[in-house]
């Protein structure tokens, strides 16, 4: 089984590329943001906690997201060839716990596909997406700024973690969707 992480700041295009990757390679797409939004829709206990946090542009607790991902990964699916993790891990603790879950399954991360984009591009894309998807966390400029700030402070240090494991594979996220996808496929195909 293959385990890819798609990595990058909010607005870099992780979700868009994940859908294309999942379709082409027969991977299961796990988006922690989408899973959390489903919980919010259901008004579950997790959803109620997550809603307030997400709308402030802050992170949901590690325990909640790790457990959500662990459940999906441990629920053996024979019909797929791998997983594409989108929006997870976002903290060093999540990355360490993910490695532990995979180790318990006798597996490991195949590569970290990192979309490299400029903050201004990300902000423009999120503001554009706000009109299309109607996400509350996309609608407010301070929330967007907060998410990007948190990315630099808390998530970006993961680059060093994955570089030290020789898993970090950067591509420009500022090209067209097709060009970006082509560059990602080159990495996956060379594995
Ligand atoms: P984006 O990457 O554009 O911010 P996501 O859908 O991946 O969009 O995430 C939306 C929000 O969901 C995040 O801002 C955060 O509040 C929460 N979230 C998603 N994934 C995680 C995670 N791994 N850890 C903590 N919070 C998360």
* Residue closest by Cα to atom 18 of ligand 1: 33
Q: Measured from the CB, is residue 151 less than 6 Å from ligand 1? A: no
Q: Does 51 sit in the ligand 1 pocket, CB within 6 Å?
A: no
- 29, 59, 97, best to mutate for ligand 1 pocket (most atoms within 8 Å of CB): 59
85: Cβ below 6 Å to ligand 1? no
Q: How many residues does the chain have?
A: 191
Q: pLDDT by residue (tens digit) across 14-31?
A: 999 999 999 999 999 999
Q: Which residues contact 104 (CB under 8 A, 6 or more apart)?
A: none
Residue 76 has pLDDT above 90, yes or no: no
Work out the percent of the chain whose per-residue pLDDT is above 90. Answer: 97
Residue 103 reports pLDDT greater than 90: yes
* Rounded distance from Cα 104 to ligand 1 centre (Å): 25
What's the gap between Cα 130 and its chain centre? Answer: 18
CB 143 within 8 A of CB 126: no
Under CATH, domain 2-183 is a member of which superfamily? Answer: P-loop containing nucleotide triphosphate hydrolases (3.40.50.300)
Contacts for 110 with CB less than 8 Å, ≥ 6 apart: 2, 3, 4, 82, 167, 191
Rounded average pLDDT over 44-64: 95
* Count of CB atoms situated within 10 Å of the CB of 90: 20
Q: Give the Cβ contact number of residue 141 at 10 Å.
A: 11
| Interval 36-53: pLDDT, tens | 999 999 999 999 999 999
């Amino acid at each position: 089984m293959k385990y890819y992480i798609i990595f990058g700041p909010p607005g870099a295009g992780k979700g868009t590329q994940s859908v294309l990757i999942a379709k082409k390679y027969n991977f299961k797409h796990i988006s922690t943001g989408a899973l959390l939004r489903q919980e919010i829709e259901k008004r579950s206990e997790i959803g109620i906690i997550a809603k307030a946090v997400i709308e402030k542009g802050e992170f949901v607790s590690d325990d909640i997201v790790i457990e959500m991902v662990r459940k999906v990964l441990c629920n053996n699916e024979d019909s797929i060839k791998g997983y594409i993790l989108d929006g997870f891990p976002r903290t060093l603790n999540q990355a360490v716990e993910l490695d532990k879950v995979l180790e318990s399954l006798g597996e490991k991360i195949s590569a970290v596909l990192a979309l490299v984009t400029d903050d201004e591009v990300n902000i423009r894309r999120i503001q554009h997406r706000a009109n299309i998807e109607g996400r509350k966390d996309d609608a407010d400029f301070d929330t967007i700024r907060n998410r990007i700030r948190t990315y630099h402070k808390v998530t970006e240090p993961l680059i060093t973690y994955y570089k030290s494991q020789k898993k970090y594979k950067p591509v420009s996220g500022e090209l067209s969707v097709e060009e970006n996808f082509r560059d990602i496929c080159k990495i996956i195909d060379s594995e």
